[in-house]
Amino acid sequence: MSLTTAEARTAPPAAPRLTTTVAKEYVHRDSVAEVFLTGCDTQDGANFSLTGQWPRAHTMFRSLDGASHDPLQVAETFRQAGIYVSHVELGVPLGHKFVMSSITYTTDTTSLRIASGPTDFDLDTRCTEVVRRRGVASRMAFEFALRRSGLPMANGTGQISVIPPAVYNRLRQTRAAQPPAVAETYPDRTLLPPSMVGRTFLTDVVLSAVGAPGTGRHPRWLLTPDLNHPILFDHKGDHVPGMVLLEAARQAACAVMAPRSFVPAAAANHFHQYAELDRPCWIEVTRVEREAHNMVTLEVTGRQDGKDVFTSVLTGPVG
């Protein structure tokens, strides 16, 4: 049966496709405002097409002049994509704990410029490895390709492990009840100036000078983030989140290059163990290599109780 001409003229228009963010629980965020993904289509069980949007005026993920998105926003977007796909497409139940083993990204910084509207993006996500234990995905590896208006913006990789709640609670039961003690242990700490670490506000600074800075073989600072920071500590946990460690690495790199500016256009980050909230974690710049075209590569290591917690190798332009 077909509509008559009169009926066609009076038929209501098709409802527009409405855009919403994905459920915040699927990307492990408490604040809806910090969810960057808006949808996902499965291609073949291993390849997924995600969509998302970045705000123009994010309070933290933007350059000092407000003209560009922060490259670390790419890393956070990749983190959300890996967790979302693991839950929604690979069947990992909510409540399971995720441990990030590594995350890398390479950006085209010119494509990070903020335009006259929010930045809509497409994110091709490929699951390159899935290890299952008792029928549940326990380890996954991903490749990411981020596009804006059809043009490449960034790419990267990620590896995460999944731990069932009962196992995690058994492993971490002695840590959950211990309050953070770093502030009490180092009452003489002084947060680095925001301008020195590529930040605008003191509340975003995560590094402190303790005693005489740079007295060792390499410059180092104490990790002292605000545990009530609305973005870095969006949800409560029993250890320092991986994104806080990425921010610490960036700030350490900026501090070494100061007063010149540094943009972490690319980074390879590897996590070796949990960074505990109640133990001093030292952020140390262990290598600086100057390259052509005003580029520099820096290696930053986080150490706690004499052991490496994470290693970041950052590359980017110096202003």
Q: How confident is the model over 190-227, as pLDDT tens digits?
A: 899 999 999 999 999 999 998 644 445 789 999 999 98
Joined tokens for residue 191: 């947060």
pLDDT at 286 over 80: yes
Q: How confident is the model over 120-145, as pLDDT tens digits?
A: 999 999 999 999 998 889 999 999 99
Percent of the chain with pLDDT over 70: 90
Judge whether 62 and 17 are in contact, CB under 8 Å. Answer: no
pLDDT of residue 213: 47
| 7-11, 25-29, 145-149, 159-163: segment of lowest average pLDDT | 7-11
Establish how many alpha carbons lie within 13 A of residue 155's alpha carbon, considering only the half-sphere containing its beta carbon: 6
pLDDT band (50, 70, 90) for residue 70: very high
pLDDT at 11 over 80: no
Whose CA is closest to 285, among 309, 311, 262? Answer: 311
C-alpha angle 139-271-94 in degrees, rounded to nearest 5: 40
pLDDT at 176 over 70: no
| Average pLDDT of the residues in 226-252 | 94
Judge whether 89 and 73 are in contact, CB under 8 Å. Answer: no
pLDDT of residue 207: 96
Q: What is the mean pLDDT of the chain?
A: 91
Whose CA is closest to 251, among 291, 219, 293? Answer: 219
| Average pLDDT of the residues in 239-264 | 96
Answer with the residue of higher pLDDT: 178 or 36. 36
pLDDT of residue 19: 85
pLDDT of residue 214: 46
| Average pLDDT of the residues in 32-48 | 94
| 1-5, 114-118, 217-221: segment of lowest average pLDDT | 1-5
| Average pLDDT of the residues in 271-279 | 93
Judge whether 176 and 236 are in contact, CB under 8 Å. Answer: no
Bridge-based pairing of strands 266-271 and 136-148 is unpaired
pLDDT of residue 9: 58
Judge whether 239 and 274 are in contact, CB under 8 Å. Answer: yes
| Total-model pTM | 0.91
pLDDT band (50, 70, 90) for residue 293: confident
Determine the Cα–Cα distance for residues 138 and 96; give it in Å rounded to an integer: 10
| Average pLDDT of the residues in 249-262 | 97
Judge whether 209 and 190 are in contact, CB under 8 Å. Answer: yes
Residue where the block lists tokens 């410029």: 113
pLDDT of residue 189: 79
